[in-house]
Structure formats: C-alpha cells, structure tokens
Structure 1
Amino acid sequence: MVGKGSPKLNMIARASPKLLRFLGTTSGIKKKASPKCSKAKKTGGSPRVVKQRADWNPALEKSLVDILHEYKDSGYRGDNGWTPEGWNKMVKEFHLRNKYVNYTKSQIQDKEGQLKKDYRMLKEARRQSGATWNEDRHMVEGSPSMWDNLEITFPKIRKFRNSKARFPLFDALGELYDGHLAEGTYNLTSLEPPQEEAPLRTNS
C-alpha cells in the first residue's frame, strides 16, 4: 500500500507522463459526451408536433359548406373561385364556429377542392345507365359493371362503391357549384343532353 503523499507515488507520477495523459483523455471523454446527448434529445422532434393533421368529420364538412354558401354571393367569389380576402374571412369564420380545430388556410382550401371533385364524380355517376340515387342513404347505387366503367375515368370514385360511403352534402354542393365549375379534368362530353342524338337514330 502506498499513501497519498508518499514519495513513491510522486516518483510514479513523474516517471509516467503517458499514464497521466491517458487519465486526462478518459476524463475528457466523459465530459464531452453528456452535452451532445442532452442537445439531441431537446431539439429532436419538437417542431413536428406543431402541425395538426386535418382530420375531417361530417360535422366539420357541413360547417365548411354552410360558410361557403353564406359567402357565395358576397362579392368574394368569381368564376375561378373565391378571392384571397374571401378565403381569409371564411377561414376565420370556420375557426370561430369550430374552436377545437386549428386547420391552416391551405388545409381548408384543400378540403373545399376535394368536396368539389367528389360532387362532380357522383354527379357523373348518377347520370350512368342503371344508376340510382338512394335519398335515405345519400349514395349512388348501381351494378358492378357501372362502377368498373366509372373507375376508368374517375379512379378515386372507388371509395363511393362502399355500402357505407354516404355523401349527404350532394344537394348543397350542387347548389354551390353548378354553373361555377371551370373546364378541366372532370368535364366529360357525356354531360351533354342525350336528346340531341335521338333524331339521328330514328332516320332509317
């Protein structure tokens, strides 16, 4: 055993600089490791939690459509849609009525665009031969072959083949969009009145 202040320990310390260097580096490693770990944990995923996912339900969709109806004749809407100022007012009104959600303007605009496309797809589905509209269930009913043909033009319409896929906003959206839909992907020649072709078939 060698005491703390013994001359023998002093001699070992003076004679072994490599040992002292080794002891110094190991203690330094321990001091450097802890701050890095703590910073990684603090800055890890905090910014990602800020954005709220836009989970829509029928009540929120109806609230949005109600607001769109209220603003459709307010001067904030043109042939190409609502003005930026109109959107700002509608988004503010939406949050006043639905205080438990905090969607961004773009999330609400995306939902409006989705509802417009869904309405247009179902409007076309109702025009198909053999299709019927179930007023009680608010959904299109038809044969599997009818749905197969529709999916060629509207791949996303398959979600409405589900027996639970109701769309109670169809009439409200019809009042909102008919006459205000621009030419685009969902405009088909089949939307023209079929009576125009009738005289051609009777001449024989």
Structure 2
Amino acid sequence: MDKKQKGMKKEDDGGKYLHWNPEMDRSLADILRSERKSGHKSDGRWKTEAFTSVALKMSAKYNVNVTNDNVKNHLKGWKRTYGVVYDILSQSGFNWDSERKMLTVDDDNVWNDYAKYDITSPNSRATAPSSSSST
C-alpha cells in the first residue's frame, strides 16, 4: 500500500496534511455517531472532547497521527460536499440512487445546463451571468 492508501501524512509545500481514504471516512462516520450518542454534540456543534476522542481513535486504528484539526478540517470538507449535493438535488432532473449511493441525472442536457452556470461543478465551462453585466 502506498502512503495515500494508508492515510499517512506527507509533506506538501512545507506543511503536513492528512490524506483521508474511503475506509477512514467510514470509520470517522462511525466514531462520530458513537460520540453523538455519548453526548459529545450539542446545539449542533461538536464538543472538544469529541474531536479529541475521534483523533485518538483514528490515530490508533490507522497508526498515523490524527489531530483535532485534521478532524475539524475534514468535517468542513464534508459540509462543503453536502452543500453541493444538496444544491444539485434541489434542481429538477437530478436524483439520488440509494443503492449505488450516488447522484443520477435524467438527461445529460440537465447536467450540461447545471455545469454551465455552476463554477464549482466538475467540467464547468462558464460562469453564471453577473448581475452587474449589461446587455
């Protein structure tokens, strides 16, 4: 296994970051569910002890140093991804396939129209029209 598969930290522009793999994502979700059941989430926010516990459990399980900041930053990424998926599903023509756990689209033209105006989407070819542009 290479470092990315193991979730090892590596040097990147002088700093260190943790590469999360799908197995680590599943473990993180499981551990967070356990932390929530333990009362380490209130008012929609994770308590410090939740981050500490998650970091320790992930470090032990994957034999890599996971910090509270690694966990916090990864959760921020999950929130961004959720926001994009939520936005896409609010558009006509997009669906969620529960069996394959992925977005589906009724017609390629629906995706092309979405991607044309959403600069955050993969293969985006244009930016949304500016409200200050004149015609």
Aligned equivalent of 1:89, options 53, 74, 98: 53
Give 1:112's aligned residue: 75
Give 1:177's aligned residue: none
Give 2:42's aligned residue: 78
* Long gaps (5+) in structure 2: 1-10, 125-135
Distance in 2 of aligned mates of 1:68 and 1:89: 9
The structural deviation recorded for 1:125 is 1.1
Q: In 1, are the aligned partners of 2:96 and 2:103 still within 8 Å (CA)?
A: yes
The structural deviation recorded for 1:51 is 6.0
| Greater helix content | 1
Aligned equivalent of 1:139, options 102, 107, 115: 102
Q: May I ask how many residue pairs the two structures share in their alignment? A: 108
* Long gaps (5+) in structure 1: 1-47, 162-204
Q: How many percent of aligned residue pairs carry the same amino acid?
A: 23
Q: In 2, are the aligned partners of 1:52 and 1:102 still within 8 Å (CA)?
A: no
TM-score (norm 1): 0.46
Name the larger-Rg structure.
Answer: 1
Distance in 2 of aligned mates of 1:98 and 1:73: 23
The structural deviation recorded for 1:115 is 0.9
Aligned equivalent of 2:27, options 41, 63, 81: 63
Q: In 1, are the aligned partners of 2:56 and 2:66 still within 8 Å (CA)?
A: no
Q: In 2, are the aligned partners of 1:52 and 1:103 still within 8 Å (CA)?
A: no
| Greater strand content | 2
RMSD value over aligned CA atoms? 2.7
Distance in 2 of aligned mates of 1:77 and 1:124: 26
TM-score (norm 2): 0.66
Please list the CA deviations of residues 123-173 of structure 1 after superposition, one character each: whole Å capped at 9, or x if unmatched. Answer: 221121011223444322332102334x25xx2x438x8xxxxxxxxxxxx
- Larger RCO (alpha carbons 8 Å, 6+ apart): 1
Distance in 2 of aligned mates of 1:136 and 1:76: 31
